């Protein structure tokens, strides 16, 4: 769980969104040499004491690197345009 900052990792709401799939996604990016962070409204919601309705991620991987990574892992991308 090295991609998770330990201070927020103790937060119960944060722990509740860290599902098996989120951990798997984080490890996948980490093993490929990239960072993956939860971004957008989720951190704000957690800090406000609310459970986030959805998760957005930010990464230092380029769109091409992400597409290659997902193809290698045979994961279908829902939105390959990089937009919401």
CATH number of the domain that 21 lies in?
Answer: 3.30.460.10
- Whether 14 is covered by a domain: the verdict is yes
pLDDT at 28: 94
Contact 35, 59 (CB under 8 A): yes
Q: Give the tokens for residue 60.
A: 């230092």
Model pLDDT, residue 46: 86
Q: Which domain holds residue 16?
A: 6-72
Please report whether residue 17 resides in a domain: yes
CA 77 to chain centre: 14
Classify residue 78: in a domain, yes or no: no
Please report whether residue 63 resides in a domain: yes
Assess if residue 77 is contained within a domain: no
Would you state the pLDDT for residue 62? Answer: 95
Distances (CA, A) of 73 to 5, 24, 30, 52, 56: 26, 11, 14, 27, 20
Question: Is residue 51, in this structure, part of any structural domain at all?
Answer: yes
pLDDT in single tens digits along all 84 residues of the chain? 444 555 566 778 888 888 999 999 999 999 999 999 999 899 888 888 899 999 999 999 999 999 899 898 888 766 656 554
Tally of structural domains, the chain:
1
- Look up the pTM and report it: 0.74
């Amino acid at each position: 769980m090295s991609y998770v900052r330990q201070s927020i990792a103790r937060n119960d709401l944060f722990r509740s969104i860290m599902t098996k799939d989120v951990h798997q996604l984080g490890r996948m990016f980490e093993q490929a040499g990239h960072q993956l962070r939860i971004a957008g409204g989720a951190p704000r919601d957690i800090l406000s004491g609310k459970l986030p309705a959805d998760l957005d991620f930010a990464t230092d991987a380029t769109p091409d690197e992400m597409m290659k990574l997902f193809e290698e892992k045979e994961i279908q991308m829902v939105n390959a345009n990089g937009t919401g």
